[in-house]
Structure 1
């Protein structure tokens, strides 16, 4: 905000934020209070309406764009609206009538109960993972572990960095979590989370000359048996002295 305040006032500035990973839990009012002090800034808040707005049911793939104009730029509202509407028509990106009907329910795009619960569960999960000297887990990454739990230190997932550079070891940990859950009759999806309704895990290998490896856990809104089962398995994994010892767990099973 301080940097924007020193920009030339005669130029229109667009401040674009992507609040997808916080949904309606994003502190928009606080941001607007700051932007309102700047007479030449148009705020655009973009987010996927699939992640936090459809209760994890994924009715329709939809994006939400909200524009906030200062009073002295009200004359631009209609022009920008017409431009966006025309562009949507040219690209064919508008929702069909059927898709509009699917997302026409009271909570869509309006409430933050769903997103707040997801963020709360991930913070709780990250804090219960055993830290300290650990031969398997090198680091637990979640912004809430920085010590401050304000709006900017929340996230709908947790990253685990392991004490290894081997993709096979990451795959091993995923397999152990899956097989141990299966013993309890639980299925843990291994996929990229979209709706964040229930817990799922994902092993990520970046596409680089020197790939980075990370294990992603998206806890989800439902704090049920899967929440506590996966947490317990991860903490038991951390008790092993090596990945070689951990691999024996699968062999014995």
Structure 2
């Protein structure tokens, strides 16, 4: 454990220096190469692998796709392969193309069992005649089955929701699971128990939890699964997904491939150690806030919603009956206290989850309520303990030395 703020500042500086070193090594190979290289051009990645270069949109990234073991145990009766795309959203877009290309009549009755606003936005780009939607309110008793289910084991739209696969319609063709929020700590069995089709994929953004918090490159990670005995060839289906990736130019660039050749990327054991630690920090924060706070809503983290819920990399704090102005005052209060207490924390987005970050999320009203996102990150130390103490005080209504959220905001 770290004992003072100086240690945490030094670790933050060391992490950024390591990041600069990794990117510089990647760029040394990529920068001299043309985007339309001559025949026979080869690049050597920082990890030592060699890759032949053609058009970059068809770059062979098998050196990473074949690295390490499976991220999730393949269910009995299934085979799986890994495919990498340029982002989590690119992965989902390619998977939608793949799913539709295998549909018998060119349409897929679709249910989005989640809250991620960009997934909804991506689905809304498709005509309803191609991807007719089953309303989120429909239960397994209302709808017998769907062709395509896009599931999120834990979803956040201001507060957390935990999926109950047994309450969802059965899936007769393609199951897509977005595990960006919970990393490797997702039990696939309940989802596959309600899947009767031949194709499934577990996908996630690999920027958030897979890169030791260094944010080396955006990447989408797909574990494509095919049911044995279905008549589908897993290798052929994976190649089709890679073909779609090339046609849509949603593959990795040489810069990104080089940066992601860092040894901890797609190291399954490292992935689990990294996520377990930061998950534990955020669960501890949630327990300090609790379900009975007179200040915050009771669903700031999946562990407060269900004892069997998957973890999450942050807490989402909503004030009871609080409007946007009240949440802005809360942000001002937290910012004031972070400075006053000397906590090493950054106001901003929580990509990477290396250290402590907090921010106010202000979604469009149709996408959810405003909330304060607090992510305690991997690093630990005195800062994590101090943030847990701060939010515990806020949850009990103690806004420090008699100054409430409103007066803090007014004073700024």
Give TM-score scaled by structure 1 length: 0.79
Distance 1:228 1:98, change over 3 A: same
Q: Is the alpha carbon distance of 1:232 and 1:73 closer, same or farther for their aligned partners in structure 2, counting shifts above 3 Å?
A: same
How far, CA to CA, are the matches of 1:210 and 1:12 in structure 2?
A: 29
CA-to-aligned-CA distance 1:48-105 (integer Å, 9 cap, x gap): 1111110110001000111111221464324323322222222212112231121123
Q: Give how far 1:133 is off.
A: 5.6
Q: How does 1:1-253 map to 2 (within 5 A)?
A: 13-28=173-188, 30=189, 34=193, 40-73=197-230, 75-109=232-266, 110-111=268-269, 112-129=272-289, 132=292, 134=294, 136-146=295-305, 148=307, 150=308, 152-208=309-365, 212-237=369-394, 238-240=397-399, 245-249=404-408
Aligned length: 240
- Structure 2 residue ranges without an equivalent (≥5): 1-139, 147-170
1:209 Cα offset (Å): 6.7
Larger % of helix: which? 1
1:187 Cα deviation from its structure 2 partner = 4.3
Aligned-residue offset at 1:138:
4.4
* RMSD over aligned Cα atoms: 3.3
Take 2:244 and 2:276, find their aligned partners in 1: how far apart are those partners? Answer: 34
Distance verdict in 2 for CA 1:51–1:210, change over 3 Å: closer
Contact 1:200 1:218 in 2 (8 A): yes
